[in-house]
Amino acid sequence: MANPEQAEWDPNSWILADVVDQLQWLRFALSGKGAKKPKAYRRPGVEDENETTFGGSHMELDAMKDWLGW
């Protein structure tokens, strides 16, 4: 499996995420004007272009201590 995060999801988890999405869309459809369009429940391996992430690489302990001024 290419994405280790997907290993944590069994078929029931995928189905439950689909149920959550459908319920959110139903609530959206019944809420009338002015409601915000729901976002899909985050699935493993799917990137969210609006999500802010930091880092992406590790730092050696000594370099981190220097960066922090310790």
pLDDT digits (tens, 9 = 90+) for 9-21: 888 888 999 999 9
Three-state secondary structure readout of 35-67: CCCCCCCCCCCCCCCCCCCCCCCCCCHHHHHHH
* Predicted local distance difference test score (pLDDT) of residue 19: 95
Of 39, 41, 37, 38, residue with least CA distance to 16: 41
pTM over 0.75: no
**Is 1 a residue whose pLDDT tops 60?**
no
- How many CB atoms lie under 10 A from the CB of residue 67? 9
**What is the average pLDDT across 22-48?**
86
Rg of the chain, C-alpha, whole Å: 19
Q: For residue 25, what pLDDT band results from cuts at 50, 70 and 90?
A: very high
**What is the average pLDDT across 28-42?**
87
The C-alpha angle with vertex 32 and arms to 29 and 35, in degrees rounded to 5, equals: 80
